[in-house]
Chain A
Amino acid sequence: MVTETQKRGLPDFGFSSPIRGTEINYLFICPTKLWYFSHGITMEHESELVDMGKFIHERRYGREEKEVWIGGIKIDFVRNGDILEVHEVKKSKTLEKAHRMQLLYVLYYLRSHGIEAKGFLHYPDLNEVIEVKLNGHENEIENAMNQVQRIKKLPFPPRAELKPICKKCAYYELCWV
């Protein structure tokens, strides 16, 4: 059963971690974005890029798609062979580090709940699938989690810094008007 709380990705007290995969992702994109997002100030619903992501997703994976929410984490789809596979579909490689960390976090999270899983990043536009392995990256993930918590707790959003990705960011107007 997916509860409303889980869907909205709010802290789920039934689980140990209130961090969402998207938050790990945003940590490696922009702390300002992370702060706004984690404070419920979201813009994505309007962004063309996100619509595209959805579109690709629905076209290519429509039939296998299974959105699963585990303790507030959205996993794009999960296929159950003899081993659990976690798949995330991404549009382009420009933010590969962020995608990789997000997926690693999901694997880490599952492991902490006793579930071993394999992770795959999909880039349908590039016809590429990359396997992501958790082993050896545990510290990196824990550091990232601590940083996310620290930024979320800030009373104000971290000062915006103009970066090349800003122009395409859904928060561009909010940050720079």
Chain B
Amino acid sequence: MRKHSKTVLSDGTLRKREGTLYLENRKGKLPLPIEEVYDIYIYGHVNITSQALHFLAQKGVAVHFFNHYGYYDGSFYPKEKLHSGDLVIRQAEHYLDPEKRLELARLFVKGSALNMEKNLKRWKVADGFSDMLGELFRELEDARKITEVMNVEARIRQEYYARWDEHLPEGFKIVKRTRRPPENEMNALISFLNSRLYATIVSELYNTQLVPTVSYLHEPGERRFSLALDLSEIFKPIIADRVANRLVKQGIIKKEHFRDDLNGVLLTKEGTKKVVEAYNEEMRRSVRHPNLKTNVTKQRLIRLEAYKLMRHFVGSGRYEPLVAWF
């Protein structure tokens, strides 16, 4: 990929000058050559001129915004460029038909669970997890409603966090997964990474013909891009959780990288920088793809997952969720 994701941590103004995008602030002018920009992630306080927005829209570059806590706020999602009326209809059909919707919802949960299992095995804390999965998968097959599928998912996740905790260093236990606001460091770290991952998936979906607002496990409308939520179930364990785990196990992220806030715990600026670096590095890392017989980056795996969904929708083979072989 010649294009790269750009992350903006500092404050400033995003402006277009003579066909180039610049981030300008007191420290100077940082050029962002548009032909090299795949998407932009903004954490700082950034003003964007309307010329810059027009330019980004014209080039089909999505911009994602994160708040003070590093949570996803929203995206500048330029007018969808690639439409396929036929695919839209088939996506909707898979939502409207209860059997088809359930099948996909189950597959997302299964894929997610198998990736959690893979992590626990790597971390050597998989005690009894596989047996438990066997039982819960049977329940999953019997589930007749999406809420029942969701319920199984929540129980799997609980078992997963309990075991992962055994592997985590003191001071970085999850104990109870708390989201908004996160009540401890590890929760803050996981939430931060999940937000970033969600935005990455939104970007990948933007570059396909899939409609990002029609989803199966999550109710459409739960978030604007609810299909990204569905896909994030597959990728949270193998991307976000692994990065979080590595950061605290290797002591790259320490207590000092967090601070208390009225509303819980959040990463400091320095902490944010380290986490974003680790995440970007992870996304650029390649693995050999067994079907394609080429090397693909972790980020590309998300696009490939979208392609598998497209094939599912057009009736060319059933979707098989990615289960990490790496």
Q: Per a CB cutoff under 8 Å, which of A39, A45, A155, A177 touches B82?
A: A45
Decide yes or no whether B307 CB sits under 8 A from chain A.
Answer: yes
Decide if A39 touches B307 in the complex (CB within 8 Å). Answer: no
Q: Per a CB cutoff under 8 Å, which of A42, A45, A46, A174 touches B311?
A: A174
Question: Count the A residues whose beta carbon is within 8 Å of the partner chain — how many?
Answer: 17
A63 to B289, CA, bound (A): 44
Decide if B292 touches A176 in the complex (CB within 8 Å). Answer: yes
Chain A residues with CB under 8 Å of chain B are 36, 39-42, 45-46, 155-157, 159-160, 172-174, 176-177
Decide if B314 touches A156 in the complex (CB within 8 Å). Answer: yes
Decide if B315 touches A155 in the complex (CB within 8 Å). Answer: yes
| Between-chain CB contacts (< 8 Å), 6 pairs | A39-B87, A40-B83, A41-B87, A41-B314, A157-B314, A176-B291
Residues of A within 8 A of B81 (CB): 45
Report if A157-B316 is in contact (Cβ < 8 Å); known contacts: A40-B209, A41-B84, A42-B82. Answer: yes
| Known contacts A156-B316, A157-B315, A174-B307, then 7 further A-B pairs from the complex at CB < 8 Å, ordered by chain A residue | A41-B86, A41-B87, A156-B315, A160-B316, A174-B310, A177-B292, A177-B304
Interface size class of B (residues with CB under 8 A): 20 to 34
Residues of B within 8 A of A45 (CB): 81-82
Decide if A39 touches B84 in the complex (CB within 8 Å). Answer: yes
CB proximity of B84 to chain A, nearest CB, Å = 3
| Smallest CB gap from B300: residue in A | A173
A41 to B314, CA, bound (A): 10
Residues of A within 8 A of B307 (CB): 173-174, 177
Report if A39-B314 is in contact (Cβ < 8 Å); known contacts: A45-B82, A177-B289, A177-B291. Answer: yes
Decide if B87 touches A173 in the complex (CB within 8 Å). Answer: no
Decide yes or no whether B85 CB sits under 8 A from chain A.
Answer: yes
| Smallest CB gap from A38: residue in B | B86
Residues of B within 8 A of A177 (CB): 289, 291-292, 304, 307-308
A126 to B83, CA, bound (A): 36
CB proximity of B309 to chain A, nearest CB, Å = 11
CB proximity of A146 to chain B, nearest CB, Å = 21
